Structure 1
C-alpha cells in the first residue's frame, strides 16, 4: 500500500508532464504538443532507416505540417445564371507549389472559362475532382497545404553535377570508345537483313475488303457549343423568323474609309473598319423604326413589348470554342471611332479567352459579319430575346445599272432576320432601306 507522500509525488509528476508536454510515441514518429501555439507539427526520430530521408529532405520543425492544416479549394461563384460547369483541366498536380491567386484549374461554362485560383500560397496535397467532370458552385475541388516551403537541395546538387557530366571525355575514355562501338556494325547489319524478306501478306487482307483506312473520331461537345445549339434551336422554335434582303453599293463608304483611315490611326490608334459604319447606320435607322430595338417579354411566349431608349449592339465574334456576342453598351452615344475601338477591344478579349460575363450580358440588336469568311449570302438567326439581327456578307465587284449605264461596283448583300410576331414587313424593309441609304452616303451619318 503506497504512502500519502508517494501518491502526492506521482500526482505532481503527472500534472507537470501534462502541463509541459504530452508525447504520443510510435515506432517512426512522435507528435509533440508544446506550450507554444504550434499545431500539427511533426518531428522525426533519426533512425538508421530514416537517416537517408533527412539527408535528402532536410526541413526544419516549422516546415512540417499535419494534414489538419490544409485548406479546401472550392468552385468559385461564376454568375447568377450559371450554377455549374465542367472542370476542363488541372494546371497543377499534387505536390506542386503554388503562389497566392495563381491559377490552378479551368472550369468551362456555357459562355466563358472561369479560372480557379489558389487562396493562399502552399502545396497541393490532393485533387478531389477529375478533369472533364461536372462541378457546381461551392463544391470541393482540392486540398491545399498553406505556407511556403524551401526548395529542395537535391535539385541544386543535380544542377551542380550537370557541368561535370557535360565536360569533355578524358583520353582514356576516348580510347575505350572503339571497344564500345564494336557491336554497333552488327546492329546495322540486322535491319539490312530484315529488309530482304518482304511481308506484303498482312496488308493484303484489308485491301481485299475494298474499304481502306476509314476511321472515326467521336468528340464530346463542349459546354459553349451545347449552349449555343440549345439557344439557336430555342430561337427557331420561339420566334416567327423571317428574313428580308437588300444590296448596298460600298463605293462611298470604301472611299471615305480610305481617305481617313490613316489619319484616324495616327490620332487615335484605331484601325477604322466597315462594321462600325453599319453599326452607326443601324443606330440612326432605329430612330425612324424603334421597334427594331424592342423585344417581347412575359409568360407563355410573351405578352409585353419593351421599348428602349438606349442601344446595346451585340457583335458576333467567332472563337476557337464557338460563337460569342460581346455587347457594346450605349452605342448610341459613340461616334464611328468609339464604336470601332469597342469592336476591336471586345473581339480581342473574345479571341484570347479573356471575355467576361459582363461583356456578354444583355444586347438589344446583333450584327453578324459572315463576309470575313467569304459568305455571299445567308439568313442569320435571331439572338433571343432580341427581335432582329443584321447579316453582313462579302463585297464583290458586280455589274449594276447607275443612271442608265452599266458600271462595275463593289456590292454587298444585306440580310435582316426579324421576329414577325413583333415586326411587320413594312418596318423591317424600311429599316433595311434606311441602313442602305446611310452606307451609300456616309456623310449623312455625320449630320445631327
Structure 2
C-alpha cells in the first residue's frame, strides 16, 4: 500500500516511524522552508529532518497546516505577512511612525505592533495572529500605502521562555546571600580599613595630577559648543502629516469661503450660578462634570431652529451651486493635541440634553488626548465650536471648517464693570465670535444667531423650556 502513496507521504510516514518516542511531531518551518526545527532525540533526528525537508518542499503540502499520517500528527508553521490596514475612503497612505515591537519579539493576536500617522489620526497596526516578528519590510518614517506589506510574522509557536530565565536571575541573586555569613566577621574588614594607608601613598605621586588637565580639555570643547553671545541659530523640523493637512485645509478655507466675523459679549453670571447649583448633583448621579461647552452647544442647536442656514453648507462644482439644509446637528468640538488641532464630532446633538452633550464631549476629549480617535469620530460635522478661552484668549477670529458655514469661538471669562439697570456692577463677561461664510449667510442672519445664543446663555432656563 505504501508504494501507491505519493513520495512525500511515504517520506513523512518513514519520518514518523523513526520518532516513535513522541506521538506528536511538530515541525516549524519558514515560508522558504530553508530551516526546520524538530522535536525528537537520538541519531534519527538528522535523517528525519532531511526527509521532512524533502517532503515539505512538495507542492502538495500546505504551510501552516496540521495533518495526520499513520496515527502521527505533523504541524507546520509558515510566515504571515502583516499589511497596512484599510483606514478610510479618503485616506490611502500614511507615514510609519514607529514599531512597537522588535525583531524576535513574540506578539499575541490583535496586539499592536506598529503605528501609522495619517492626515487625520494615528492608525495602529495589529498582529493578525499570534507569532514572532521575523522581519520589518519597511523602515520608520517611510510612506506606506493601504495594503502594502510591512512586517513578516512567523505565525504559531510560543513566546520566549522568559520564566525560565527569571529563576536563573533569582539563583544569581541568592548567591550573594551566602557571603552574608562572613559579614559576621566585620571586625576583620575593619582592620583592612587600616590598609587605606596604602591608598594614601598614591596621593603623594604626581601621577594623578595629569587627570585634571584631561578634564579641562573635556570641558573646553563643551564650552566651545555653547552658543556664543550674540550668535544666532536655527533648526528645521519637518511638518508631520496632520500639521500639513491642517495647513492645507485652513488655506483652502480662506481661499474658498467669503469669511466674515461678528462679535458679541455675554454675561456669564446666570450660567455660572446654574452650574454651581447643579454640578455636584449631576456628578453624583451621572459621573459627568458639568461644564460650559454643553450649554453653548445646546444654545446653538436651539438658535439653529430659527436660522437653519447656519447649519447648512454649499456644495457642488466650481465652488458650489447648491445649498444643503439638514434636520440634524453634528457639532465639531475643537480639541488641541500635541500633534495639532482635531475636531471630533458630537452627533445628533439636537436629541441630547445638557448632560448627554457634556458626556459626549468628555469622551471625545479623552480619546483625543489618548490618541484613540477613529476616522468615524472625525468624519462629518455641520457646525464647529472652538474654545480658546481655556488657553486665556480674550478675543479671536476662528476659521471656518469647510464645508461648514460657521464656527463659534468662545473666549476667556473676565470680570468687568457693566451697567445693569443704571448701576455699575462687576460681572463675569465673555466675548463671543462667530465667523461665517457670507456666500450663504447674510450679516442679519449671522448677528441674529449670535444674539440668540447670547440670550440662551444669559438665561439658561430658556434652554430648558426650549423657547
Query: In the alignment, is the contact (CA less than 8 A) between 2:28 and 2:37 conserved in 1?
Result: no
> How many Å apart are 1:355 and its aligned residue?
1.1
1:398 aligns with 2:416: yes
Looking at structure 1, the residues matched to 227 and 375 of structure 2 have their Cα atoms a distance apart, in angstroms, of 56
The SS at the match of 1:246 is strand
Unaligned runs of 5+ in 1: 1-11, 24-35, 51-61
The structure-2 alpha-carbon separation of the partners of 1:46 and 1:89, relative to structure 1 and needing over 3 Å to count, comes to farther
Give CA-to-partner distance per residue, 1:342-364, whole Å, 9 cap, x none.
11111111111111111111100
Cα distance 1:64–1:262, how it changes in 2: closer, same or farther (>3 A)?
same
**Residues paired across the two proteins, number:** 411
From 165, 183, 186, the counterpart of 1:155: 165
Specify which of 339, 348, 373 is matched with residue 330 of structure 1: 348
Does the 8 A contact of 1:316 with 1:326 survive in 2? yes
Point out where structure 2 has 5 or more consecutive residues left out of the alignment: 14-24, 30-35, 47-72
CA distance in structure 1 between the partners assigned to 2:248 and 2:234 by the alignment: 25
CA distance 1:307–1:204, change in 2 (3 Å): closer
After superposition, the CA RMSD in angstroms is 3.6
What does residue 411 of structure 1 align with?
429
Distance in 2 between residues matched to 1:404 and 1:171, nearest whole Å? 91
Matches within 5 A, 1:360-371: 360-371=378-389
Distance 1:208 1:403, change over 3 A: closer
Which of 114, 127, 138 is matched with 2:147 structurally?
138
With structure 2 as the length reference, what TM-score do the two structures score?
A: 0.78
Q: Which of the numbers 339, 345, 348 marks the counterpart of 2:363?
A: 345
Determine the C-alpha separation between the residues in 2 that align with 1:237 and 1:191.
72
Note the C-alpha offset of 1:151: 3.7
Aligned to 2:124: 115
For residue 429 of structure 1, report the CA deviation from its aligned partner. Answer: 0.5
| Alpha-carbon offset, residue 232 of structure 1 | 0.8
Alpha-carbon distance, 1:161 to partner: 3.2
| Between 198-207 and 428-437, the greater mean CA deviation after superposition | 198-207
Between the aligned partners of 1:76 and 1:290, the Cα distance in structure 2 is: 39
Aligned partner of 1:306 in structure 2 is 324
Q: Structure 1 residues 217 and 188 mapped into 2: Cα distance closer, same or farther (>3 Å)?
A: farther
> 1:258 is matched with which residue?
276
Q: Distance in 1 between matches of 2:265 and 2:294?
A: 18
Q: Distance in 2 between matches of 1:308 and 1:284?
A: 14
Aligned to 1:274: 292
Matching residue of 2:134: 125
Q: Deviations over 1:184-239 (max 9, x none)?
A: 76888876664479679878978996435x55432222111111111111111111
Asked if 1:91 is matched to 2:100, the reply is yes
Matching residue of 1:440: 458
Matched, 1:373 2:363: no
Structure-2 change in CA distance of 1:207 and 1:311 (3 Å) = closer
> 1 CA distance for matches of 2:164 and 2:280?
59
- Number of the residue aligned with 1:237: 255
Report what 2:79 is aligned to.
70
Q: Please state whether the residue corresponding to 1:232 is helix, strand or coil.
A: helix
Q: How does 1:9-48 map to 2 (within 5 A)?
A: 20-21=10-11, 40=29, 41-43=36-38
Give the Cα–Cα distance (whole angstroms) in 2 for the partners of residues 381 and 137 of structure 1.
Answer: 32
TM-score, normalised relative to structure 1: 0.81
Aligned to 1:164: 174
Aligned pairs for 1:206-217 within 5 A:
210-211=229-230, 215-217=233-235
Return the alpha-carbon distance in structure 2 between the equivalents of residues 14 and 188 of structure 1.
90
CA contact (8 A) 1:388 1:417 kept: yes
Contact 1:42/1:65, CA 8 A, preserved across alignment = no
Residue 166 of structure 1: SS of its match in structure 2?
Answer: helix
Aligned to 2:55: none
Tell me if the contact between 2:97 and 2:115 (Cα under 8 Å) persists in the aligned partners: yes
Cα separation, 2, equivalents of 1:208 and 1:349: 41
Deviation per CA, 1:372-418: give whole Å up to 9, x if none. Answer: 01000000000000000000000000111111221111110000000
